[in-house]
Amino acid sequence: MSAPLVEARGLTRVLPGEIETVLVADVDLTIEGGEFLAVTGPSGSGKSSLLYLLGLLDAPTRGTLAIDGRETSRLSEEQRADLRLAALGFVFQFHFLLPEFSARDNVMLPMRALGRLREPAMRARADELLAALGLAAHAHKRPDQMSGGQRQRVAIARALANQPRLILADEPTGNLDTQSSEQVLAILRKLVDETRTSVVIVTHDLDLAARADRRVQVVDGRLRALESRNSDDAAADL
């Protein structure tokens, strides 16, 4: 049996101060390759904080986090950045596309940072990703020339640029209409089913969450429940 893609044990993040603020508390979580996991919970419960820990955007106060078998808690900031760039992709509620760049150039940014491909190969991959997401005719357009749903699909293409093992999505449909939200969800589902890419999505949308393979509920920084799409159990052993 292969090792899990992500394995967190006792993962905790505390903000120091006169009164400490616990963002994430003693989280144990395993994510397999090719799994679609939804993270739900009340506003301010720690959902996004957990996602940022899993994505190496924040460092834990204590606990361990292994990604693809590599323990990350003792990595330098440069090593964390390299692993993040090579193995992880991010999609946020706000697309964060660079407004002065075309869709194609936005998608090429992570490839330029990783430095593994030459210019023609980067351009070809960007165009391939945009075409796969129905944006072939928009590759030359700037973000302000596209709809919200189109911009979010560009952001997904950018997240996929370096062929990551794991996509982390924080409220990716939060600013979209129903049709665009369905398109984004279908794209993420297809990634899981066809390429074995793992997806972790933070969402307030319980209908969307119910279509994931598993659902973790976060309350006060702790994992409170784990649900499976194929099970009626409200809680299970992580």
Residues 113-124: what's their mean pLDDT? 94
**Domain layout of the chain by residue ranges:** 6-228
201 pLDDT above the threshold of 70: yes
Q: 231 or 223, which is more confident?
A: 223
Q: What is the rounded distance in angstroms from the CA atom of residue 42 to the CA atom of residue 220?
A: 9
Whats the size of the chain, residue-wise? 238
Q: Which helix (H) or strand (E) holds 28?
A: strand 21-31
Provide the residue type at 133 as one letter.
L
pLDDT band at 233 (very low <50, low <70, confident <90, very high): very low
How many Cβ atoms from other residues are within 10 Å of residue 19's Cβ? Answer: 6
Q: What is the pLDDT of residues 95-114, one digit of tens each?
A: 789 999 999 999 999 999 99
Q: What is the rounded distance in angstroms from the CA atom of residue 56 to the CA atom of residue 132?
A: 28
- For residue 232, the model assigns a pLDDT of 43
Domain 6-228 class, CATH top level: alpha beta
* Angle at which helices 103-114 and 119-132 cross, to 10°: 130
Q: What is the pLDDT of residues 161-196, one digit of tens each?
A: 999 999 999 988 888 888 888 888 888 898 899 889
Average pLDDT, rounded, for the chain: 88
Q: What is the pLDDT of residues 27-84, one digit of tens each?
A: 999 999 999 999 998 888 899 999 999 999 999 999 999 998 899 988 899 999 999 9
Alpha carbon 91 to its chain's center = 6
- For residue 144, the model assigns a pLDDT of 95
Q: What is the rounded distance in angstroms from the CA atom of residue 127 to the CA atom of residue 50?
A: 33
CA distances 211 to 5, 61, 168, 186, 194, Å, are: 21, 32, 16, 10, 16
238 pLDDT above the threshold of 50: no
- End-to-end CA gap in the chain: 17
In three-state secondary structure terms, 216 is strand
